[in-house]
Amino acid sequence: MDSSRFKVLASGIFCLILTMGIGRFAYTPMIPIMFEQAGLTKVMAGWLATINYAGYMLGALTATLVSSLLAKDRIYRSGLVIAIVTTFMMGVSQEPWVWALSRFAAGFGAAAGLLIGSGLMLNWLIRNNHRSEMGIHFGGVGLGIAFVSVLIWYSSHLVWSQQWFLMGALGLLLIVPAWRWLPVPDVSGVTTSGQQLADRPPSRRFLQLMMLVYFCGGFGFVISATYIVTIVENQPALQGQGEMAFLILGLCAAPACIIWDLVSRKTGVLNALLLAYFIHAVGIILPALGDTLLFALLSASLYGFTFVGIVSIVLTMAGRFYPTKPAKLMGMLTMSYGVPQIIAPVIAGYLATETGNYNAALYMASGFVIIGFFAILAIKKWAASDMSLLES
């Protein structure tokens, strides 16, 4: 790997550790700690997750509407700063409105890192005649989750606010390579070898079905992403194992995108996505089927291995349809992915309050993933020809 490609992909990894690992996902293992120490309730936890996803949706909308690569570069860099500021905000107060403001802005920062940052990096890879696969880059999501898990485990002697401050301080180190190693985008319409870049939009049918697929994926993603630590801790026999489950989730997610890149290359994108959705549905439902540590850790493993793989497959595919502005379709699809992420955490919070567990929410999430599985089959039957646009 040449040094320039290494630095660009590494900038993406550091970006995702900061904006996704700390800025977005640190809230998940902090929920049970804040239940105990900061007066957070189950319903408020659900609302904060919903507010976070609303901010993420605003970021996705921004990625869709802003066409200038230079403007997107500025938004990307703003997202890095936002991730740090909002992390510090979580520890400065116990006022729900401060937490809500932090989670909303952190959601926007996460979208800037994941969608706009990914689009800028994919654009750089295509322009510089590198393979348009993003598995290494998206591995930063899993590394971020694992990083946060270890950090919270080792800082368990600190109170909840100090843990947030510690994560914010480490963010100040992560921002340096994330900022410096991503070049300002080239806005010319050709690659470095002189080849003209051309967008190849998919058909309306393909787009509608893919939005349904990703909508269902959003339902599957959000329940476990928000509550997996709490779900484990909520089972008396598994108390104290929540951080372990989250760590395993991150460790399985870190190499997953590279593996899914290889699977996609061998089987085709749609077949890889079918397999990922099937495994995802199984992983989500396992904690509802048994309260053993084996089921909890297997669930975390399968969920971690598939959720970030699904994101990587879908967003890389979307970016390849629009090489001159990769984040355009990424943002559009993420809007459909984000709608259930606004709705589902609140539903899950109320269901958990009424039933005393998260089983109903897990059945709901897994059911939507199965619907997404059949929507992929519909694409294979009625709109598979669109994939040839990426291979021509």
In a domain, 66, yes or no: yes
pLDDT value of residue 392? 47
Average pLDDT over residues 78-82: 98
In a domain, 191, yes or no: no
Domain span at residue 370? 3-183+201-390
pLDDT in tens, 260-306: 989 998 999 999 999 999 999 999 999 889 888 888 889 999 999 99
pLDDT value of residue 189? 67
In a domain, 104, yes or no: yes
pLDDT value of residue 194? 62
Terminal-residue alpha carbon distance, the chain: 26
Q: Is 190 helix (H, G, I), strand (E, B) or coil?
A: strand
Q: Identify whether the C-beta of residue 182 lies closer than 8 Å to the C-beta of residue 76.
A: yes
Residue 68: DSSP 8-state: -
In a domain, 219, yes or no: yes
At residue 355, what is the residue type?
A: T
In a domain, 195, yes or no: no
The three-point CA angle 76-155-151 to 5° equals 40
Burial profile 323-348: b = 16 or more Cβ within 10 angstroms, e = fewer: bbbbbbbbbbbbbbbbbbbbebbbbb
Domain CATH code at residue 29? 1.20.1250.20
Among 1-5, 7-11, 250-254, the least confident range: 1-5
Average pLDDT of the chain?
88
In a domain, 367, yes or no: yes
pLDDT in tens, 188-224: 766 666 677 677 888 899 999 999 999 999 988 888 8
User: Does 133 score more than 70 pLDDT?
Assistant: no
Please return the burial class of 48, using the count of CB atoms within 10 Å of its CB with bins 0-12, 13-18 and 19+: buried
Give the global pTM.
Answer: 0.85
Q: How far apart are CA 198 and CA 72, in angstroms?
A: 19
Average pLDDT over residues 324-346: 82
Q: How far apart are CA 344 and CA 49, in angstroms?
A: 9
Average pLDDT over residues 43-48: 89
In a domain, 298, yes or no: yes
pLDDT in tens, 63-79: 888 888 899 999 999 99
Q: How many domains does the chain have?
A: 1
Q: Identify whether the C-beta of residue 321 lies closer than 8 Å to the C-beta of residue 201.
A: yes
pLDDT value of residue 247? 87
In a domain, 189, yes or no: no
Q: Is 47 helix (H, G, I), strand (E, B) or coil?
A: helix
Average pLDDT over residues 111-139: 85
Would you state the structure tokens that stand for residue 107, as one six-digit string?
């959601």
